Amino acid sequence: MIDFASTPIILTMLLGAVGVILPIISIIRKERGSSLYAGIAFGALIAAISFVAYQILSKHIMPAAIFSKNVLVDDTFGAFFAIAMLIVSIMTTVGSFNYMRGKSNPAVYYSLILLASIGMVLIAYSTDLVMLFVAWELMSIPTYVLAGFMKKDPSSNEAAIKYFLFGALSSGIIIYGISIAYGLTGSTNIGDVISGFSKLGPDMMPLALLAVGMFIAGFGFKIGLVPFHMWLPDTYEGSPTTIAALLAAGTKKAGFAAALRVIIMGTIALNIDWAFALGIIAIITMTVGNLAAIMQKNLTRMLAYSSIGHAGYILIGLSIAPFSQIGIQASLFHILNHAVMKAAAFIAAAGIITTLAVSHIDKIRCLGKRMPITSLGLTISLLALAGVPPLNGFWSKLMLFGSAINAGSVMPWAPYLAVAGVLNSALSLAYYGWIIRKMYFEEGESDKRVKEPKSIIAVMIFSIIFIVGIGVYPDPIIEFAKSAVPNLSALSTIH
Amino acid sequence: MSNGLIDFVLVSVALLAIGIYGLAVKRNAIRMLFAIEMIVNSANLNLVAFARFIPNSQGQTLALFSIAIAAAEVAVGLALIIVAYRMYKNIDIADFRSLKG
Amino acid sequence: MSTAGGIIRALNSGVKHLAVKRFTLRYPEQKLKFVGDGFQFDPQTGVGIAGLKGRHILFHDKCTGCQLCSVACEGIAEAIGMVKVKETWKHNKKAIMPQIDYGKCVFCGLCVDACPFYALYMTNDYELSSFTKSALIYTPSQLAVKPNISQDVEIKIGKRGATHG
Amino acid sequence: MVDSIFLAVSVLTIGSAIAALEIRSLIYGSIALMLTLSGIAGFFLLLDSPFVAMFQLSVYVGAIAVLILFTVMLVRRELIFNKIEDPRRRYAGIGLMIIVMLGIGTIIIGSGLKTMETSVTTVDYRKIGEDFLTYYSPALIVMALILTSSVIGALALARREDVTNEQRTD
Amino acid sequence: MSTIAPEFRLSRFIASLTDIIFWILLIFSIIGLPLVFILLFYIKLPVVNGQLLTPYLAMTWMADPSRTIPIIKSLIHTEFFRIIAFPGFGFAALLAAATIFVERKFLAKIQLRVGPLYCGKIEGILQLMADGLKLMSKEIIIPAKADKPIFWVAPLLFVGTAAALTSLIPVAPGWVAANPNVGLLTVFATIGFFPIITVLSSWSANSKWTFIGGIRALHQMISFEIPLILSLLGIVILTGTLNLTEIVESQQHYWWIVFMPIGAIVFFITIIAELERIPFDLPEAESEIVAGWLTEFSGMMYGLIQLGTYLKLYAFAGLFTVLFLGGWNGPMVWPPFPQEIITNGITIGPITAHIPGLPLFDQEMLNGTLWFVIKTVGVILVILLPRGVFPRIRIDMLLHTGWYTLIGLAFVNIFIALGLLYAGVLGHGGLMQ
Amino acid sequence: MATQLPPGIELEKVDDRIMTLNVGPQHPGSGHMRLIIKVDGDYIVSCDPDPGYVHRGEEKMAEYRNYIQNIPHLERPVIHDSCNILYPYCLAVEDLLGIEVPERAKYIRVIGSELNRCTYILYWLAIYGIFLGHSTMFMWPVGDRELFIDLLEAMSGARVTHAYFVPGGVRNDLPANFEERCLRQVDYFEKRLKEYEDIFYQNPVLKQRTEGTGILSRMDAIRLGTTGSVLRASGVDFDVRKKEPYDVYDNLDFETQVLREGDSYARSRVPYLEMFESCRIIKDALKKMPKSGSVRTKLKPNPKGGNDEVYRRVESGRGSLGYHIISNNRPEPYRVKISVGSFRNLICIPYLLKGEKLGNMPAVYWSLNYWPVEADR
């Protein structure tokens, strides 16, 4: 039996209760305005994140564990992701204050954000395939609805249908993989599955590989790895822009959490040379994402391709994981950084779209004068995404590429990952800089200042402080990421 | 019982393949939903077959979860399809052309 | 709670009626009793005598062939035609008498009102169905027959409801 | 006896699965999908898991099939005939299907699954309930949240806001 | 003379009869008799007890109870008999037929009418047969643009599903056509088929009235399935089993209606709604939508639907009896079979017939069946009563009832059951072991 | 190629949500008319009544028949309220021809009219019951109607088409011991009527179903020109028997039943309450009636009207019913115009049904006390 006082259960109870109560309030009070629901959701998320922070600071939780006898484990790995996901959810919620004004069903919107964030948090905490799958679905199903939430907008609906079809396919593939893993080992607990995998005879090995391949494919859909990425730009462009922030910064990172829990451990147990394949995928993913991003004229679409590219960067850390502890640490750090950066960028885009109703890059000329704070936030986050030195993106990229070069002693091809990453970063600076140039250095039709939404300003200020602050003083986060890395060398001694 | 485990697993693989075929070929949103249902069902069949032959109850439990989740997924998917139909008067996703890419 | 009370009251009312006598008239076995021998008319006072407006009866010894009934019917149903009869009467020189088509007759009884000689009355006979339309045309000789009918059931009102019996 | 039943059920399942995708009328396609799902339930019965079989029937046939039929009937009658798809994509799809079938099939046939022993003991459905309430209890809570989110999400999506029910004039 | 009713002449009738008899005799003697002889020549007649089994001997055996009763007894205990005749279809159809007659007379009594009167001399007891004959002889009309395969199959599927539902009802100890371990879940799964059949048949007829009726039926069945399932969860919690026979056995001392009257009321209202009976007969509301989803059915297809409806009525009433009223449990009122007949045989005048294999049914089974039938008929009568008392309700009232009132009450019932369990009133050490 | 439409004609915009239902003429819930109903889901978007299926030209036919021969014809439109539809005709013709009606005949006419009002309302109530799916409420009124039909048959000799009222009185005197029989049956009927309360009018299911549906406000009822029970259910105290008393109604003791809600329930309850008043009138009239005397003024054969026109109206089962007769020195009337309550209540149907649920259609439609045959004449 699980301890009902553990962090994930308390988070589930808190956010779930608020998420269920919100629509009921809307039925009873018949209130059309959205601020009440946004306030409640914001309060719940703040309570949740402060609870997690309290647990971490008071050192009540155990260090990163690989598996437990329960479906959930209360460890630092989960807490790290919980912090990241909850930050993204809070940014989305605050960013939606303005976006949702006057739209229908605000209570359902915020309730679904809360439920989806429970799913994202629980994925990181789960140590059982059933729990992982169920949490995966709790993350997916609300986001299907959220992506299609603008019912009058054809593009939102199209985005949602594509997202739904690929998401449902990915969950189908995942459950097929789970079924094979269960069939081979007779258990659904990840620890039992791994130890069962390591005891398999050679005749069962192809099946185990099939299962791991299905996991990679299934999670890869959500992460946006290259052969499975075709739905992603459409969905990010079409869905409400705040929701695109949630998808890009939240669900994608939850996919990485699931991948870290399942794929890496599973493949280590199988003791196969899978790292090269992941490295290839990483290079292709980042190259495709960045090359496609250059050609985009639409701000959100460009950010979507950029997030594909960043999936490639994060994958570098995963591909060198078994030989370098620092690789996973760097991946975790970049996951947190990228979550904040991308969420900030998308919410800035949402602010631009709601106030000026433009998303084409040519239309945002002279934005620096019209919306100074939003464009400052967008600039900072874009520079951080590109990895410009004093910002947080620089440190995490540095750690990623550095670990790749470090791993060159074991894997001779690993430094090429770093080379590809640096080249791609340079490439990305081109289109990020293009946007910055449009905003600040080109003459537009008007340079009259427009009133910026307060909620967007709040998010921007928070993200500027976060990005610059971590860029200046990254040590505590790096320490935290270090403590969240599971001890993989202990794992490889199973067999 | 005279059927081996492998028979059931082979049927499940056939269903999986048919589902993938449907997803690859069909562009009608409801048909694609059918194909996804087939994939999920093939996984369920696998789970129950393994649970019968291992034997323990976890496979059946997971199958129950999977069935219920599929119901939730279908509800959301059909709602999206109905909204799409109201907008486009069509449910062929090849005809959804508001996003270029 | 008033809803539940109302539902119980309604159910109680339904169940209570299981004990009430059935009102249905079992028609072919039972036949309703009527007032008098049928509708008649007194041309002297100009007032009719109450009774059922059923099939007519024609008194051949009183009919003069004056066609007043036929004229009265002309604007209403055109059911009455005057036909030759073989028998000869002193007061009926033309030897014509009414023949009534019950496929057309509406049983208003205005022909009875029109007859000044007490020759045409109505009777309690109302079972006139036939397989053919031609069988519904009653010749003067058929109209002269006094119907033989037994009608004996009345509405009886008792403690447990009204019945026919 | 069991073999013939197995054969019949698998022919029904796979045949109706193909029919569900290929038959022209979408209504008949849904009926064929229903048959596929019922065939899966039949497999579950063959596997001595009546609880899952009945659950499959009540959820898939009692709820999902009704939803699908309802949706198919809501979209207009002329549209239930789908367009003939591009033959090239069709051949590619058939090729993909054959690759998947042969690839996974050879892996499975080559693996040790065929030596897996048949055990006479079956799992009682009470064990499933025990599992639900002990080991998987957090998953059950999350499951409840999933169903809630799908219900409120589907309602928010499918409800029409342009038609109000208060059309009265006075 | 008129052509509609030709005159009857006895002489012509007798002439035609003799004509037919002559031809039958001629054909039989020319073709039939040689065939019989050829067959008898080639077939090897079996030898039983040292005697050649000639047709004559076989016929004498058929009249000998000491030989036929064991055969009948072995037949009774086959699966075939159970499914077709006793606890299965035949029994259910018989009770359903009786229900139709009772309903008509009962309703007529409330409405101060007479009801069926002429057919079958005694209060119109054969009216149902006459109606069935009429339906069978009527033409089946299929709308021109109907979807014919579905339109044809839907009534058959409806009857089949209803019959499947009846086969799950345990009638007496050990007497049930199908006894799955997860019986209650099977009941839910079977009920789930009705909405699909309804909506498919309504769609296939290609008529607006049937479609509106079918959609209404769909709404009604789907929204009442949830309280139906929830109202029975209390029993499942308290008994810890899904098997219907075990649920009946758990009620030897107390019926569940004593502890869970709210659940019983909710279940009762939901079965009225699932059966589409007044006041929940919106799918067939004749003043609004002609006859709802039955509009286009005619002839024997309509008859099949009616048969299915009444089988469903029996099945739900039986379910209510099994779940809440203790099923076959009741004091022993059936007289025991006299022992002398088994040992000494029956003495009729000078002849004493020794009949092995008696009695055909044991006393418990007959007593159980008696109590089951009495309770079920009582439930059916209570189901029929609202038809005479209430008007039809509206769709929004129906959905409000289903989603708010009944689901809320069902949850109250579940909490009552849990409370009884944790308070120790029931379960281990409580009133029932 | 789309065909060119003539100018001014537009095709209706196709919306697949809107479904057009033809309720009638071959529909169990329509009567002899058609309601073209457009529904959006279960809500009625528009309702277009299409009467005229049973138009017989009674008004034109009346111009070719003399004043007596018109009697069996003019009662045809409402055969189950045939005394009341003849009543204003007789009053008008009496005015035209200058005929005095004997006192006893006036009382007999009032009794006949009230008995017939009860049969009409019972018939209407029976159909209202079966429209709402309450089959007992169909059987009981139809059975109890038999009491009045028997009384009317004893009076006039016919069960439905009485042809009993004539200009100058009634056609025949009451039969012997009619008073006693009538009192007995009316008393029993009043007892039966009280039974209707429990099973129908106080039934919570019926109340929920009809209360608040199809509300016709007081001003709307007056503005739309409704009459009869529809008007009285909306809170307007108007009854021809009280406001313009004819024959002996001013001598009799009765009240007008008025309800204020104006919904279907009130509209269905006003006729029910009026049946009690009818019973009261019958009993009072039987008491006050002269025990003997002439019942019919003898007319000349083929009477001719002067150059005159007359309008008289009475309160029928469906509201005020008036005859406007013009004569020009001939045995036949020059023009007969019948103003009926049904046709005046018909205008409410599109007004009340718009936005209503389809399930309320029968409840609202039949509560309007509309008889298609009378409206078509």
Calpha distance E145→E126 (Å, rounded)? 37
Average pLDDT over residues F258-278: 89
E1 touches C: beta carbon within 8 Å: no
Average pLDDT over residues D72-100: 73
Binary contact (B50, A159; C-beta < 8 A):
no
Best residue in A71, A105, A158 for a mutation probing chain B (most B CBs within 10 Å): A158
Physical contact, C and A (3 or more Cβ pairs within 8 A):
no
Tokens of E47: 């030898």
Closest residue in chain A to residue D132, using alpha carbons only: A1
Nearest by Cα to F125 from F144, F136, F114, F141: F141
> B73 burial class (0-12, 13-18, 19+ CB within 10 angstroms)?
buried
Q: For residue C160, what pLDDT is reported?
A: 81
pLDDT at E26 over 90: yes
C153 touches F: beta carbon within 8 Å: no
Return the higher-pLDDT residue of C125 and F1: C125
Binary contact (D170, F215; C-beta < 8 A):
yes
Residue A149: φ, ψ to 5° = -70, -25
Q: For residue E360, what pLDDT is reported?
A: 73
pLDDT tens figures, D6-25: 888 889 998 999 888 888 78
pLDDT at F219 over 60: yes
pLDDT tens figures, A222-280: 888 888 888 888 888 888 888 888 888 888 888 888 888 777 666 666 666 677 788 88
Nearest by Cα to F199 from E386, C9, E278: C9
Q: Does domain C26-164 have CATH number 3.90.850.10?
A: no
Domain spans in chain D, listed from the N-terminal domain onward: 1-78, 125-159
Neighbours of chain A (3+ CB pairs under 8 A): B, D
pLDDT at E430 over 80: no
> Using CB atoms and an 8 Å cut-off, which of residues 5-24 of chain E contact chain C?
5
The radius of gyration of chain E's CA atoms, rounded to the nearest angstrom, is: 27
Q: What is the mean pLDDT of chain E?
A: 82
Collect all residues from B whose CB is shorter than 8 A from any CB in A.
Answer: 9, 16, 19, 23, 29, 32-33, 36, 39-40, 42-44, 46-47, 49-51, 54, 56, 58-59, 61-62, 65-66, 69, 72-73, 76-77, 79-81, 83-84, 87-88, 93, 96, 98-99, 101
pLDDT tens figures, F7-47: 665 555 556 667 788 887 888 777 788 888 888 777 888 88
A169 touches B: beta carbon within 8 Å: yes
Closest residue in chain B to residue D117, using alpha carbons only: B53
pLDDT at D38 over 80: yes
Q: For residue E24, what pLDDT is reported?
A: 92
Calpha distance D52→D48 (Å, rounded)? 9
F359 touches E: beta carbon within 8 Å: yes
pLDDT confidence tier of residue E6, bands split at 50, 70 and 90: low
State the nearest Cα–Cα gap between F328 and chain E, in angstroms: 48
Closest residue in chain F to residue C15, using alpha carbons only: F199
Residues A162, B93 contacting (CB under 8 angstroms): yes
Domain spans in chain F, listed from the N-terminal domain onward: 57-345+359-376
Length of chain B: 101
Residues F233, F262 contacting (CB under 8 angstroms): yes
* DSSP state at residue F42: T
Calpha distance C73→C80 (Å, rounded)? 6
Nearest by Cα to F341 from F317, F371, F318: F318
State the nearest Cα–Cα gap between C79 and chain E, in angstroms: 23
State the nearest Cα–Cα gap between A315 and chain D, in angstroms: 27
Tokens of F134: 């309450």
Best residue in F172, F174, F179, F209 for a mutation probing chain C (most C CBs within 10 Å): F172
Q: What is the mean pLDDT of chain D?
A: 79
pLDDT confidence tier of residue E1, bands split at 50, 70 and 90: very low
Binary contact (F362, E279; C-beta < 8 A):
no
Residue F277 burial (CB count, 10 A): 19
Binary contact (D76, F351; C-beta < 8 A):
no
pLDDT tens figures, E169-211: 888 887 787 788 888 888 888 888 888 888 888 888 888 888 8
> E60 burial class (0-12, 13-18, 19+ CB within 10 angstroms)?
exposed
Binary contact (C47, F295; C-beta < 8 A):
yes
Closest in C11, C13, C22 to E112, CB measured: C22
Closest in D65, D70, D125 to E182, CB measured: D125
Binary contact (F209, E290; C-beta < 8 A):
no
pLDDT confidence tier of residue F1, bands split at 50, 70 and 90: very low
Best residue in C70, C155, C160, C163 for a mutation probing chain F (most F CBs within 10 Å): C155
pLDDT confidence tier of residue E23, bands split at 50, 70 and 90: very high
F202 touches E: beta carbon within 8 Å: no
Residues A247, A311 contacting (CB under 8 angstroms): no
Tokens of A25: 């309030």
Render E133-177 in DSSP notation, one character per residue: HHHHHSPPP--TTS-HHHHHHHHHHHHHHHHHHHTT---BTTB-S
Physical contact, F and E (3 or more Cβ pairs within 8 A):
yes
Average pLDDT over residues F101-121: 89
* DSSP state at residue A227: G
State the nearest Cα–Cα gap between C48 and chain E, in angstroms: 36
Closest in B32, B40, B47 to A182, CB measured: B47
State the nearest Cα–Cα gap between D167 and chain F, in angstroms: 5
- Residue ranges in chain A modelled with pLDDT below 50: 493-495
Q: Helices (H), strands (E): how many in chain C?
A: 4, 9
Q: Does domain D1-78 have CATH number 1.10.10.10?
A: no
pLDDT confidence tier of residue E18, bands split at 50, 70 and 90: very high
Which amino acid appears at position A244 of this protein? A
Residues F23, F37 contacting (CB under 8 angstroms): yes
Give the percent of chain D with pLDDT over 90.
Answer: 3
pLDDT confidence tier of residue E21, bands split at 50, 70 and 90: very high
Q: For residue B82, what pLDDT is reported?
A: 84
pLDDT tens figures, B80-93: 888 888 777 777 77
Give the percent of chain D with pLDDT over 70.
Answer: 81
Nearest by Cα to E321 from E310, E331, E313, E333: E313
Binary contact (D169, F45; C-beta < 8 A):
no
* DSSP state at residue D81: B
pLDDT tens figures, B13-47: 888 899 888 888 888 888 888 899 899 999 999 88
Q: For residue D169, what pLDDT is reported?
A: 38
Calpha distance E137→A126 (Å, rounded)? 67
List of E strands, chain F: 18-23, 34-40, 43-50, 165-166, 169-170, 307-316, 319-328, 333-339
Best residue in E2, E7, E269, E387 for a mutation probing chain C (most C CBs within 10 Å): E2
On chain D, the residues whose CB falls within 8 A of the CB of F41 are 163
Render F76-103 in DSSP notation, one character per residue: STTGGGHHHHHHHHHHHHHHHHT-PPPH
Average pLDDT over residues C110-125: 86
Cα E276 to chain center, whole Å?
17
Q: 3-class DSSP state for residue A102? A: coil
pLDDT confidence tier of residue C55, bands split at 50, 70 and 90: confident
The architecture (CATH level 2) of B5-95 comes to: Orthogonal Bundle (1.10)
pLDDT at D80 over 70: no
D43 touches B: beta carbon within 8 Å: yes
pLDDT confidence tier of residue D168, bands split at 50, 70 and 90: very low
Interchain CB contacts (distance < 8 Å): D and F: 19
Binary contact (E203, D34; C-beta < 8 A):
no
On chain F, the residues whose CB falls within 8 A of the CB of C75 are 64-66, 69
pLDDT tens figures, E305-362: 888 888 888 889 988 998 888 888 878 787 777 777 777 777 777 777 676 666 777 7
The third-level CATH classification (topology) of the domain covering F57-345+359-376 is Cytochrome-c3 Hydrogenase; chain B (1.10.645)
D1 touches A: beta carbon within 8 Å: no
Calpha distance E59→E61 (Å, rounded)? 5
Return the higher-pLDDT residue of F188 and D114: F188
Tokens of E58: 């076989």
ipTM comes to: 0.82
pLDDT confidence tier of residue D82, bands split at 50, 70 and 90: low
